[in-house]
Amino acid sequence: MPFPKEMLNHNEDVVLDLRPHWWYFARPLGLLATAMALGIVMLAWDGAPNLLNLVAGVGVVVALGWFGLSYLRWATTSFVITTDRLISRSGVLSRTGVEIPLEKINTVFFRQTLFERIIKSGDLEIESASEQGTQDFSDIRRPLNVQNEIYRQMENNENRKFDRVGDSIRGQMGSPQTSIPDQIAQLDQLRSQGILTDKEFEAKKAELLRRL
């Protein structure tokens, strides 16, 4: 099911909403195929001992149960990229989740074995300045594309933030003739208020100094 719109912030849009790659089902499908093959053999064997028939039947039931549970977990696991944050949620009855604001993300790594490259699956490792630190996400579809999309949205988010800061400065200063030193002082005030990070302050300051 898609990510609920009511959980989005104002002016926030969903960019990617992914379920785990189909390789997520490899083990339960393998067990189910083995159990069904054993069951077919037992049905074809006229003189099969009752104990073996019972074992085969139980094996099929267990395999079906594991596959059904795996499907529920797959259907309730989501990896979402929005214009503001990265969200991961999972769980059938009890739910767990991780949310990382895009401005907190430092680096995104992806890992793929040769086989995973063939089936277009892989893992992502995201380093951030949030409380969670480094987070690993497995069974991601087309991880390189997802990595690129995260960086693209990080850049877009940064640009929107600079636009808001510029509007805020113009609104608070009133006059378009405000001197550059005064604008830098205003930026420093925004930094002290926590609106700007040190990195954003230095970038905007450098941009203003280039105009001198």
Of all residues in the chain, what percent carry a pLDDT higher than 90?
37
Which contiguous run of DSSP H or E holds residue 154? helix 143-173
Same domain for 104 and 65, yes or no, is no
Same domain for 14 and 50, yes or no, is no
Average pLDDT of the chain is 84
- pTM score, whole prediction: 0.68
Q: For the residues 152-162, what does the mean pLDDT come to?
A: 84
Same domain for 10 and 107, yes or no, is yes
Evaluate whether residue 51 is within a structural domain: yes
Evaluate whether residue 172 is within a structural domain: no
Same domain for 69 and 97, yes or no, is no
More confident residue, 70 or 6: 70
Q: What is the Cα gyration radius of the chain?
A: 26
Same domain for 57 and 117, yes or no, is no
Q: How confident is the model at residue 39 (pLDDT cuts 50, 70, 90)?
A: confident
Same domain for 99 and 147, yes or no, is yes
Same domain for 63 and 135, yes or no, is no
Domain tally for the chain? Answer: 3
* Residue-number span of the structural domain to which 36 is assigned: 27-74
Evaluate whether residue 85 is within a structural domain: yes
Q: For the residues 8-19, what does the mean pLDDT come to?
A: 89
173 touches 184 (CB < 8 A): no
Q: For the residues 100-107, what does the mean pLDDT come to?
A: 90
